[in-house]
Amino acid sequence: MKWKLMLILFLLGSNLLAQKKTNVAPTPPMGWNSWNYFACDVNEDMIKEMADAMVESGMADAGYEYINIDDCWQIDRDENGKIVADPDRFPNGIKALADYVHSKGLKFGLYSDAGRLTCEERPGGLGYEKIDAETYQEWGVDYLKYDWCHHGLHKAKKLYPVMAAELAKLDRPIVFSICNWGWGKPWKWGGEIGHLWRTTPDIKACFDCGGFFRLSVLKILDKQVGLEKYAGPDAWNDPDMLEVGNGDLTDDENKAHFSLWCILAAPLIAGNDLRNMPKDVIEVLTNKEAIAIDQDPLGKQGYKYKDKKDFEVWIKPLENDEWAVCLLNRSEEKMDINFNWQKELNLKKEYTVRDLWKHQDIGKSSESYQYELPSHAVLFVRLQNP
Ligand code: GLA
């Protein structure tokens, strides 16, 4: 009897009763978010144009569905405590905008914060979780990114479940994206509460550069090692949104960044201006063979298999006993590689090796493959059943 009481107290104390909705993100969510490119400069027309561009560029057809507004859409609360959108930037209100996004066959996301204020000091959700969740439902919100600024002495593990519980009470399924930058190891508790959780500080649009508050693609990649065991359907590690097409990332770097995020079963949330994409950027974002690796129904996150300093091998198990493999050259120099798939990966059967950027079969897994891997590039393949 005593142990039963203790168990109940433990469950209550650890907030495991949040009961998030399931089957909301059976594979990593795919979409677009305003922050990486536009930061606070968001408005209704731009968001509508982004929805149009998601359809016209072929991204919707490739699987992207969420159009998410990040910080700065909100300005105040009314006398009843209801959140108010900036009337200058969103003159028709958020519901009309969500309706427009839905009319394009897409889904709509918003941003708020578990603390008193958002990171840009707009009204946060603390103390308003119930009314906010109900408002999001009324507006037709499908995705909520929930940040971690101005949280005072609260603990993430205790505060995120408050909003999760309110979302769980709604009829509408809403993806709950925990954004507390990996503080307090959200991979250990996030799966009970949300559908994805950030594992690091913000990403920066450079492949390999310094920084403390914002990290390069490679620095973020390094922080994913060992997290694979926490990921699965409805519970994804989030190494932050994509910088493909931003900053001065080269074509090889864009491809490497995208391939590695696919290996990581990361949410694929584009962060560039979809209205003005060069052809090569569209090709990266809409590579359906790469996206199929990210979205593989087995729902397993890939992991680092070999680390030879500048040369790394990342692999991801796929359904039907297939594999995705990513050979990465981290160095500033090109690299000659001679790779025997079977020997290096200890394969027990023969596969066809398919290059996912060339869209070509390049041999069999029992054969060695010779290749000149450019600096900051990947060879991204699928080991396919013959
Ligand atoms: C934090 C998040 C970012 C973005 C900004 C908005 O830094 O990590 O992704 O949402 O806040 O203010």
For residue range 179-232, list pLDDT tens digits in order. 999 999 999 999 999 999 999 999 999 999 999 899 999 999 999 999 999 999
Ligand 1 binding pocket includes 350 (Cβ within 6 Å):
no
Supply the CATH number for residue 234's domain.
3.20.20.70
Ligand 1 binding pocket includes 251 (Cβ within 6 Å):
no
| Ligand 1 geometric centre to CA of 201 (Å) | 9
Whether residues 288 and 367 share a domain: the answer is no
% of the chain with per-residue pLDDT over 90:
94
Whether residues 310 and 328 share a domain: the answer is yes
**Could you say which of 236, 261, 294 is where a domain stops?**
294
pTM assigned to the model = 0.95
Whether residues 317 and 284 share a domain: the answer is no
Mean pLDDT of 78-93: 98
Supply the CATH number for residue 314's domain.
2.60.40.1180
With cut-offs at 50, 70 and 90, classify the pLDDT of residue 307: very high
**Could you say which of 274, 294, 314 is where a domain stops?**
294
In a domain, 6, yes or no: no
Count of domains for the chain:
2
- CA 88 to chain centroid: 30
Cα–Cα distance measured from residue 253 to residue 311, given in angstroms and rounded to the nearest whole number: 15
Is residue 143 a contact partner of residue 66, using CB atoms and an 8 Å limit? yes
Ligand 1 atom closest to 111 (CA): 10
Ligand 1 binding pocket includes 120 (Cβ within 6 Å):
yes
How far lies 290's CA from each of 44, 107, 212, 258, 314, in Å? 32, 22, 30, 8, 14
In a domain, 2, yes or no: no
Our mutation pick for probing the ligand 1 site, out of 33, 41, 119, 144, counting the most ligand atoms within 8 A of Cβ, is: 119
DSSP state, 321? G
> Which residues does residue 304 pair with via DSSP β-bridges, in sequence order?
314
Q: Whose CA is nearest to atom 3 of ligand 1?
A: 202
Whether residues 40 and 167 share a domain: the answer is yes
Cα–Cα distance measured from residue 80 to residue 64, given in angstroms and rounded to the nearest whole number: 36
Whether residues 131 and 166 share a domain: the answer is yes
- Among residues 52, 202, 280, 307, the one annotated as catalytic is 202
Ligand 1 atom closest to 198 (CA): 8
Whether residues 250 and 185 share a domain: the answer is yes
pLDDT tens for residues 317-372? 999 999 999 999 999 999 999 999 999 999 999 999 999 999 999 999 999 999 99
Q: What pLDDT is attached to residue 47? A: 99
Ligand 1 atom closest to 70 (CA): 10
Whether residues 251 and 310 share a domain: the answer is no
Residue 147 bears catalytic tag: yes
Place of tokens 């590695």: 260
Pairing state of beta strands 323-329 and 214-215? unpaired
pLDDT tens for residues 229-272? 999 999 999 999 999 999 999 999 999 999 999 999 999 999 99
In a domain, 326, yes or no: yes
Whether residues 280 and 336 share a domain: the answer is no
Name the nearest CA neighbour of 78 among 149, 1, 132, 133. 132
User: Please, what's the largest Cα pairwise distance for the chain?
Assistant: 70
Whether residues 282 and 141 share a domain: the answer is yes
Whether residues 316 and 211 share a domain: the answer is no
In a domain, 11, yes or no: no
In a domain, 222, yes or no: yes
Q: Which amino acid is at 106?
A: L
In a domain, 82, yes or no: yes
Whether residues 68 and 212 share a domain: the answer is yes
In a domain, 5, yes or no: no
In a domain, 27, yes or no: yes
Cα–Cα distance measured from residue 274 to residue 272, given in angstroms and rounded to the nearest whole number: 6
**Is the pLDDT score of 8 beyond 90?**
no
Coil, strand, or helix at residue 93? helix
Is residue 232 a contact partner of residue 220, using CB atoms and an 8 Å limit? no
Other CB atoms closer than 10 Å to residue 209's CB: what's the count?
14
Ligand 1 binding pocket includes 70 (Cβ within 6 Å):
yes
Q: What pLDDT is attached to residue 11? A: 47
Residue 202 bears catalytic tag: yes
- In this structure, what token pair is assigned to residue 206? 């450079």
- Among residues 142, 147, 238, 240, the one annotated as catalytic is 147
Cα–Cα distance measured from residue 378 to residue 330, given in angstroms and rounded to the nearest whole number: 9
**Could you say which of 294, 313, 340 is where a domain stops?**
294
Whether residues 328 and 287 share a domain: the answer is no
Is residue 131 a contact partner of residue 157, using CB atoms and an 8 Å limit? no
Mean pLDDT of 118-133: 98
Q: Whose CA is nearest to atom 11 of ligand 1?
A: 119
Look up the domain containing 366 and give its range. Answer: 303-384
